[in-house]
Amino acid sequence: MTAQTTPPGPAARVGRGLARAAALVVDLGRTWSGALGVTLVAIFLLVVVLAPLVAPYGYADQHIAARLQGPSDEFWLGTDHLGRDLLSRAIYGTRIAMLVALPASLLALVVGLVLGLAAGFRGGRLDRALVVVMDAMQSFPAVVLALALLMLLGRSLPNVVVVVAIAFAPAYARMARASTFVIREEAYIEAERSLGASNLRIVGTHVLPNVLPPLFILMAINIPVAVTVEAGLSFIGLGVPPPDPSWGVMLDEGFRRIQDTPWPVLVPAATLMLSTLGFTFLGEALRDRLDPRLAGSRGGRGA
Amino acid sequence: MGRYLLRRLWMTVATVVAVLLFLSALVHIIPGDPVQQVMGPRASPDFAEQVRDEMGLDDPAPVQVADFLSGAARGDLGRDFISGEPVTAIVAANLPHTLALALSALGIAAVLGIPLGVLAATRPDSLADKVLGLLSVAFVTMPSYVSGLLLLLVFPLTLGVLPATGAGDLGDPLDYARHLLLPASALAITWVGYLARVVRSSMLEVLGENYVRAARALGLRERMIAYRYALKNAIIPTVALLGVSLGDLLGGTVFVEMIFSRPGLGSLVVGAIEERNFPIVRGAVLVIVLMFVAANLLADLTYRYLDPRVRVDKEAAR
């Protein structure tokens, strides 16, 4: 970092940010797994944005005469028990996956960050109480905790977001707490304090910038896990309710007719695997690039 | 070690108490009257009143929590909302199936994952290493319900081998094992990938140690070095992993038991949630959590016993 004599204008700053992001993406594409991750995630995100343009049919369009068909010219990947086009449903399914995984991971990060900062910075009794609560929450297998909470909240997409966030938050809190502990003891923090800086200022200008980066990496690695947890809950019938084309709902509907035709199971299984694989490769490439110390760790698994 | 052990035990007890409090509060957080929820509007007021009385649902909340805690301490988890049978007996009848499933999955994962990890580590950057690297990530990211559905499609439905549903006859070990093979494999796939990755990276570390170089200088065969000397140390970090993995394995049993229509704690919980049969949910979830906590404690202590370097109390910095 070189010292800036004149602060750059907003346009220049945005330009530099974009250039840096582009450089990072190119950098990630240098390993073959990183390249695969970047490609798969790029395709995935394009599909999320362009779903109505690339899907041949609507996700709820029924072609009753063409139920449970295999792939054909008309329906590239076949149809389900209501004659809905599986390809179109899988394409719209990317939107459901993102609609749950992104807000859930972000919410988990924010909640975990606040709790972790509070525990790590305050220490003492608050810290001990939070650690016991986090430990108790992490003694539940993530899926089981989510199931128990969904029984209380009922079945809806926003509830799935909340439940997945609750199941993931302790991992972020733990990470934030551990790095806060380390930074808190640094000499420059003591210097700041002796100069009369408030706790808020110390946390905002020194602790936060150090605590956040590893949390973002954890989030990148957690997104595919959130996708699989959502699909799993929906598969059991406790997640996203039909007719929304969640891949889990599609798997459930296909499972009920698995003896008649494999396609309604195979299509969502394939899209689920390709997207989680892409996000995992991307997340791990990001982690190896930004924080090699974390190599080998993987965020809480759910399914 | 002694101080650490005490601290660890105290934390475990505190955790279990917190879990118990959460679970006993479950019924009070559920919106609406639990009896109405389960029996529907058709239940006569007299009958609903009788059930409420038997369940102690009219007692003040703290009394109910205390009742549940003292009952749980004596092994009494309450009664099934619908059949009236003791929850402890129902959970005990399902527990062996889930334990058998989770333990055989761990076994399959170890038998496949560890040699694959060694194979990759002894030939770093070879084609085999790269293919295994891709495969293990694919395995790690594959949820157990996807692997379960795919195995169901391939073996019983397409090839016509191995049973698709049920747990088989407990009295006939061969039959039971045949029924166990597919569900356990479905559950194991994630951990084959995970173990292969962890063993690979810790083997690579160990293979760079001086004692391995000394063994090479003495002219020992590479196979011998890898399996007899390096693996013994490289396997230690996986022990710590196993404790954590059991929790995910237990979570995965929910899906796998459903797909293969197996009895067990997972399918018990899902079925009870659909009926809003909360005493069953509470009891089964409690047993799942206790198994997880116990496994974690055991893995942690074994890890510390096996690797003296981690016996230093690092808890404060955690």
pLDDT in tens, A60-114: 888 888 888 889 888 889 999 888 999 999 999 999 999 999 999 999 999 999 9
Task: Specify the pLDDT at position A122.
Answer: 86
Q: Over chain B (318 residues), what is each successive 10-residue block's mean pLDDT? A: 80 84 73 63 70 70 78 82 86 93 92 92 88 90 94 91 82 86 94 91 87 87 84 82 77 93 92 85 90 86 78 46
Among A36, A41, A135, A155, the residue to mutate for chain B (most B Cβ within 10 A):
A135
Q: What is the mean pLDDT of chain A?
A: 86
In sequence order, the 6+-apart residues with CB closer than 8 A to the CB of B163 are B156, B178, B179, B182
Task: Specify the pLDDT at position A92.
Answer: 95
Task: Specify the pLDDT at position B29.
Answer: 65
The rounded distance, in Å, linking the Cα atoms of A85 and A100 is: 23
- Asked if B146 and A247 count as a contact pair (C-beta separation under 8 A), the reply is no
B48 token code pair: 């609903």
pLDDT in tens, A99-127: 999 999 999 999 999 999 999 888 888 99
Task: Specify the pLDDT at position A290.
Answer: 77
Q: Residue ranges per domain, chain B?
A: 2-73, 93-311
Closest CA to B192 of B101, B120, B102, B109: B109
pLDDT of A159 higher than 90: yes
Is the ipTM above a cut-off of 0.90? no
DSSP helix, strand, coil percent of chain A (3-state; round to 5): 75, 0, 25
Partners of A276 on chain B (C-beta within 8 Å) are 141-143
User: How many angstroms away from the CA of A200 is the closest CA of chain B?
Assistant: 23
Task: Specify the pLDDT at position B41.
Answer: 62
Partners of A295 on chain B (C-beta within 8 Å) are 201
Looking at residue B74, the DSSP 8-state letter turns out to be T
Task: Specify the pLDDT at position A300.
Answer: 36
Put simply, the answer to whether B146 touches A238 (Cβ < 8 Å) is no
Closest CB to A277: pick one of B138, B269, B276: B138
Q: B12-27 burial by CB neighbour count: b if 16+ within 10 A, else e?
A: bebbbebbbebbbebb
- Asked if B118 and B168 count as a contact pair (C-beta separation under 8 A), the reply is no
Task: Specify the pLDDT at position A49.
Answer: 92
- Vertex B168 angle, CA B167 and B172, to 5°: 135
User: How many angstroms away from the CA of B82 is the closest CA of chain A?
Assistant: 17
Among A131, A132, A133, A143, the residue to mutate for chain B (most B Cβ within 10 A):
A143
Task: Specify the pLDDT at position A231.
Answer: 95
pLDDT of A224 higher than 60: yes
Put simply, the answer to whether B145 touches A235 (Cβ < 8 Å) is yes
Put simply, the answer to whether A262 touches B153 (Cβ < 8 Å) is yes
Put simply, the answer to whether B190 touches A301 (Cβ < 8 Å) is yes
Task: Specify the pLDDT at position A297.
Answer: 43
pLDDT in tens, A186-222: 888 888 888 888 888 888 888 888 899 889 989 988 9
Closest residue, chain B, to A270 (C-alpha): B146
Q: Per DSSP, what are the bridge partners of residue A79?
A: A85
Closest residue, chain B, to A260 (C-alpha): B157
Q: Can you give the pTM of this predicted structure?
A: 0.86
Partners of B276 on chain A (C-beta within 8 Å) are 151
Long-range contacts of A208-213 (CB under 8 A, 24+ apart): A208/A117, A210/A179, A210/A183, A211/A113, A211/A116, A211/A117, A211/A176, A211/A179, A211/A180, A211/A183, A212/A113, A213/A290, A213/A291
Neighbours of B294 (CB within 10 A): 14
Put simply, the answer to whether B269 touches A147 (Cβ < 8 Å) is yes
Partners of A180 on chain B (C-beta within 8 Å) are none
- Asked if A293 and A162 count as a contact pair (C-beta separation under 8 A), the reply is no
Task: Specify the residue for token string 């499972």.
Answer: A255
Closest residue, chain A, to B160 (C-alpha): A259
Closest residue, chain A, to B146 (C-alpha): A269
Closest CA to A298 of B132, B195, B116: B195
Q: Per CATH, which fold does B93-311 belong to?
A: MetI-like fold (1.10.3720)
Task: Specify the pLDDT at position B35.
Answer: 66
Partners of B281 on chain A (C-beta within 8 Å) are 148, 151
For residue B27, give the 3-state DSSP assignment. Answer: helix
Count of A-B CB contacts under 8 Å: 145
